[in-house]
Structure 1
Amino acid sequence: MSGFQDTCSICSTSMKGQAIYTGECSHSFHFHCVYSNGNQICPVCLVKWKQVPPTFSPPPPPNYNSHFAAPFYRSVPPPPPIYNNPFAAPRFSFYNNNEPDVFDDDEALDVQSSSNNATDTTTDGLSFKRLLMETYTEVPAVPRLAAVDDFTVLVHLKAPDSISNQNSRAPVDLVMVLDISGSMSGTKLALVKRATGFVIQNLGAADRLSVIVFSDAASRLFPLTKMSDTGKQHALQAVNSLVATGGTNIADGLRMSGKVMQDRREKNPVASIMLLSDGQDTYDMRHSFVTGGTQNWSNNSIPVHAFGFGNDHDAKLMHSISERSRGTFSFIENERAIQDAFAQCIGGLLSVVVKGLEVGIESANPDILLRSLKAGSYKNQLMPDRKSGCIDVGDLYADEERDFLISVNIPKETTFTCLNETSLVKVNCHYTNPLTKEAVNLVSENATIKRPESVGEENVVSIKVDKQRNRLQSAEAMEQARKAAEENDLKRAVSILENVRKVLSESVSAKSGDPLCMALDSELKEMQDRMASRRTYEDSGRPFMLSGVNTHGLQRAMGSACGGTFGAAMGASYQTPAMLGMVAQSRADPYQPASSSFTFKPRPR
């Protein structure tokens, strides 16, 4: 670096007139930022410094005898304010361990600003875009005198288009829960700091963020705070002051994140929790989770997007947390891809256009019953009379699609009725526009099927229906194979996957070259490879399969940073333009380490 570096890469503020430290790698920082960062690795290029500031020293041991001790960052005073910078004076202390009993200290929302945003959105027409709702039958026609017991109807939903700017989307309340236990030291923590910084920089002034860290216990770095220029600077300083030490108390981190969401005085339209951990819980989280000790977050219906970092995390626990809360589970095997995974997640969260979506299905014919609803991971219910049912979908990101399969019976049509078609089902949707608070109710036309005297070769199977059947069969096979593997029967698990691959290869959609079917086959093949041995399965096969089950069950892209073919499969299937755009922005970050060269290789016995 030949010229003067204007800003510190840790806190993103000016370095003029400040004490500066320059590493052997030529990257420069505020001296106090490097001091509080607490490690010997450059936060920009990850080079390990051979020479460090003379005041660098290991963090003091935590004071376990103090009830208020915070063992997860150094007990150093906050960096001095930069008085010539209007954004530098902190409004609250990041080093205050005296947490209130009630977390009602969230920063107030700007009601006038929110109102203006809604007005602007109505003016440019964005709020009038509605959910697209379509139905497809597995074949166009059934002979008039034929009866079918199990006939499939596809319900296809697509959310409105991507939002184009910060002022035309629903603001977000986000809580990030970060593992800073001892196993996160060094490069891992540096990567997480950078990835968290990327999230902070991409939030808007109306979005609010709170960061919770946990090791032996959990603590808030700061309350829910608007990400204005001032808020972003303080958030970056707080995150970059962290050091890793202690155990892994996931339960306490989750409990505190739920409390932040539950106690807030005001609420942005969209709310979510991001949880990252690289290790096994050391405080009997599993017992606490099973017995309801972490219900604060689940009762609030706040999705928890869990990121299992590396090969040593508890994949079953992390997946269970996300599944209960209707969040996502991402396996981040390639540690340097954590920023891309975070980017994809917030690309979705910052583009929510549908809230609380409920889908109702009703029989459109007195003689037709609903046999089953195949909705993947979404809660669904059939009424006892089999004449109606419902699916609880929740929130949708811009451009997201959802496909559900409904099985019905088709009765005979007697010749004297002279009917040319039979009505099967009708679909209705109810949801809220998160920006305008508008309640939207949609009703489809009846899904019908032609009833000629006979059908010919033109009565072919719908590829749209067939590929969704393949998706659901694959997800079921993944779960069955995982259960077999957990019972120590890897041979049977591999056989289950091999059998479903054969079924896929013979399907109409696969023979037509459907991209989803090709991606499913690649993913199933890689799952087989990750069952080469018990050790390989436990290292990467288990989290890989759980992430796949979660992905296809929710039809939502995860933080696909596993390497191998998985990233391509998930990207082709479920990524939205907003997600792709945010990931592209992450990869364009000059400080983002390369993450696309990773290839899965089974570990030798």
Structure 2
Amino acid sequence: MSFNDDEVPAPARPTGFTGSPTRQVQLIKYHSRSAPLAPNDQEVLLELRGIASAAAREPLDLVAVIDTSGSMGDGGKLDKAKNALCFVIRKLTDRDRLCVVQFHHKASRLCPLRRATEAAQAELEALVRGLVAGGGTNIQDGLEIGLGVVGGHRVIAGRAASVMLMSDGEENNGDARSVAPGDVPVHTFGFGSGHDSRLLGAIADKSLGGVFNYVADSDSPTNLTETFSQVLGGLLTIIAQDLELIVTPLPGEATIRKPVDAGSFPAIPATDGSSSVTVRFGTLYSAEERKVIVELALSDRTASRPYRANVAQVQYKFTFQGQRVMSDPDRINIRRGRGTAAGDPAADAPAQVRTEVARRRHVKSIKAAMEEADGDRLEDARDILAEALRALERIVDPMVDMLRRELQRLLEHFRTKDTYREQGRPYAISSLASHGRQRFTARGDAEEVRLFATRRMDTYLEQAKRPDEKPPSADEDFREEPEPERAVPQDWERWTVMSVALRLLATVLSLLAFSIMARARTSGWDGDRYGRYEPYRTNRPM
């Protein structure tokens, strides 16, 4: 199923971005600077970071797929969904396009992809306000129509497409697990205690870059709007598409010891006989990060003299404004010497590597606890979570503080079978989605754990709390943002410290020289200002 009647988008206009497109994304490497000549393993953390500015973003083609089944009429849930959709409509600009799909026992497309001009926004809001609850829940049909809209859109180059799918219940018509989203990110929202978090989590996980968000029952009229705003805060700052990271160990120097740890993103070994691995990330938002851990097995060099070894090569590529961009090759360089003893690679690694390893160990604990809880072994599940909490006690890091908060809330939600089914499971699935994608997700509400949230998401969250005020458009948000921040690579940190130390040394020497000169001028030389320097002149060796 596909549609090709979408409205022609607005002509491209200057973005204000200057410089090489590769500057949209930055590569930062963290690893030990030295290693022994004997065979040893080294953990390397590779981080791709989007620039902290959406001066140049991809225009958005968004399809909102909304559950209007009978249960949505209970407790004002449909009204909350309408308010959330209207917030989305008001944030879009005339560069963006929106399509709304509703589903109950069957699905229907309410409009083609429409440019979000001021006139279209009013019409789209009226369309949304007219939604009525009734019927069963056919998530498959809604998802297929939503993907059909994306698959049939006529203008693709330089545009980003995404699907937002929300449901409050369990599917009783069709089978959404049979749908293949392909490379289209599908962001799902489980609303209330009756939704099927396992199904919605699986749909998002099957897409490239999509995440599952859990929206708890609440008296707040804006809790769904707040969660929608967070996903939208990313979608309206997409600065790279089709992002890939390629890691190639250099022959004779290193091999990749075990599969590259890229969370829930696919890490694909090369099929051309080389030993490279390609990680596919999909989209990247402004100020987002993607971290990958590569464990390199360094070759035996005990017969060699100490030297600086290029052990692997790293490149990244992405699409921006319809053009394919590739970075220059970047080498991972480690000094290998006799005085360096082989030890625990994690203990010898920089703090950034150790913190990331701890986060990934934390994720494994949540998965293990879920397996126990799904098997009705809640006490064992809580023991696993408690042990994971103790493992974080000695780590001082702002992100680790949020990991502790996450575990504490999971312990509360894993108390009984009912609390686990209604709150614990969706909370855990949302947490795993967030960690796997390294992207913000709502875990019950949009404020509790802010892991991976960006500055624009923080801004949209505050706007979503004020339903009586019309939010500014995405373009207006950008104009109010401060200047972009730049990432600081590991090597730059070292040179910065050395530079500061040299400047301090130069200042001290200058003051010392000034002090000597001042004393020389006031030491009473009977008018001969140069007599003090005479011994240096006469006693110089010939």
Partner residue, 1:391: 279
C-alpha distance in structure 2 between counterparts of 1:195 and 1:546, whole Å: 22
Structure 1 residue identity aligned to 2:6: D
C-alpha distance in structure 1 between counterparts of 2:319 and 2:2, whole Å: 30
Shift of 1:127: 4.7
Higher mean displacement: 496-505 or 401-410: 496-505
Q: Does 1:503 align with 2:371?
A: no
Q: Does 1:380 align with 2:258?
A: no
Higher mean displacement: 379-388 or 327-336: 379-388
Structure 2 residue identity aligned to 1:104: N
Q: Does 1:343 align with 2:225?
A: no
C-alpha distance in structure 2 between counterparts of 1:390 and 1:577, whole Å: 29
Which of 360, 374, 377 aligns to 1:472? It is 360
Which runs of structure 2 are paired with 1:199-348 in the superposition (5 Å)?
199-267=88-156, 269-283=159-173, 285=174, 288-290=175-177, 292=178, 294-295=179-180, 298-299=181-182, 301-326=183-208, 327-335=210-218, 336=220, 337-348=223-234
Partner residue, 1:453: 338
Higher mean displacement: 385-394 or 305-314: 385-394
CA contact (8 A) 1:211 1:220 kept: yes
Secondary structure of 1:551's match?
A: helix
Partner residue, 2:39: 147
Shift of 1:140: 3.0
Structure 2 residue identity aligned to 1:193: K
C-alpha distance in structure 2 between counterparts of 1:183 and 1:250, whole Å: 14
Secondary structure of 1:567's match?
A: coil
CA contact (8 A) 2:237 2:286 kept: yes
Q: Does 1:536 align with 2:428?
A: no
- Deviations along 1:44-67, one digit per CA (max 9) or x if unpaired, are xxxxxxxxxxxxxxxxxxxxxxxx
CA contact (8 A) 2:191 2:214 kept: yes
Secondary structure of 1:472's match?
A: helix
Structure 2: which 5+ residue stretches go unaligned?
471-542
Q: Does 1:363 align with 2:249?
A: yes
Which runs of structure 2 are paired with 1:478-493 in the superposition (5 Å)?
478-493=366-381
Shift of 1:278: 0.6
Q: Does 1:161 align with 2:47?
A: no
Please identify which structure carries the higher helix content: 2
C-alpha distance in structure 2 between counterparts of 1:199 and 1:184, whole Å: 19
Structure 2 residue identity aligned to 1:547: S
Which of 568, 584, 596 aligns to 2:462? It is 584
Secondary structure of 1:121's match?
A: coil
C-alpha distance in structure 1 between counterparts of 2:332 and 2:98, whole Å: 44
Partner residue, 2:510: none
C-alpha distance in structure 1 between counterparts of 2:294 and 2:22, whole Å: 29
Secondary structure of 1:156's match?
A: strand
Partner residue, 1:438: 323
CA contact (8 A) 1:162 1:578 kept: no
Change (3 A) 1:129 1:461: closer
Structure 2 residue identity aligned to 1:445: D
CA contact (8 A) 1:338 1:561 kept: no
Structure 1 residue identity aligned to 2:39: A
Partner residue, 1:567: 447
Shift of 1:334: 4.4
CA contact (8 A) 1:334 1:561 kept: no
C-alpha distance in structure 2 between counterparts of 1:169 and 1:386, whole Å: 35
CA contact (8 A) 1:420 1:452 kept: yes
CA contact (8 A) 1:207 1:226 kept: yes
Q: Does 1:462 align with 2:350?
A: yes
Shift of 1:541: 0.4
Shift of 1:390: 1.3
Change (3 A) 1:362 1:487: same
Secondary structure of 2:132's match?
A: coil
Percent identity, aligned pairs only? 29
What RMSD, in angstroms, separates the aligned Cα atoms of the two structures?
Answer: 2.3
C-alpha distance in structure 1 between counterparts of 2:203 and 2:95, whole Å: 28
Q: Which has the larger radius of gyration?
A: 2
CA contact (8 A) 1:140 1:460 kept: no
C-alpha distance in structure 2 between counterparts of 1:302 and 1:460, whole Å: 40
- Deviations along 1:331-367, one digit per CA (max 9) or x if unpaired, are 0014431111111111100110011011110112414
Secondary structure of 1:302's match?
A: coil
Structure 1 residue identity aligned to 2:4: D
Which of 437, 440, 452 aligns to 1:554? It is 437
CA contact (8 A) 1:371 1:386 kept: no
Question: Which aligned segments of 4 or more residues in structure 1 are displaced greater than 4 angstroms?
Answer: 124-128, 383-386
CA contact (8 A) 2:7 2:113 kept: yes
- Deviations along 1:549-575, one digit per CA (max 9) or x if unpaired, are 0000100011x2514xx8343x2x311
Provide the aligned length of Structure 1 versus Structure 2. 458
Partner residue, 2:28: 134
CA contact (8 A) 1:331 1:562 kept: yes
C-alpha distance in structure 1 between counterparts of 2:335 and 2:447, whole Å: 41
Structure 2 residue identity aligned to 1:409: A
Change (3 A) 1:127 1:455: closer
Structure 1: which 5+ residue stretches go unaligned?
1-100, 593-605
Shift of 1:500: 2.6
Partner residue, 2:4: 104
TM-score (norm 2): 0.80
CA contact (8 A) 2:24 2:239 kept: no
Structure 2 residue identity aligned to 1:140: R
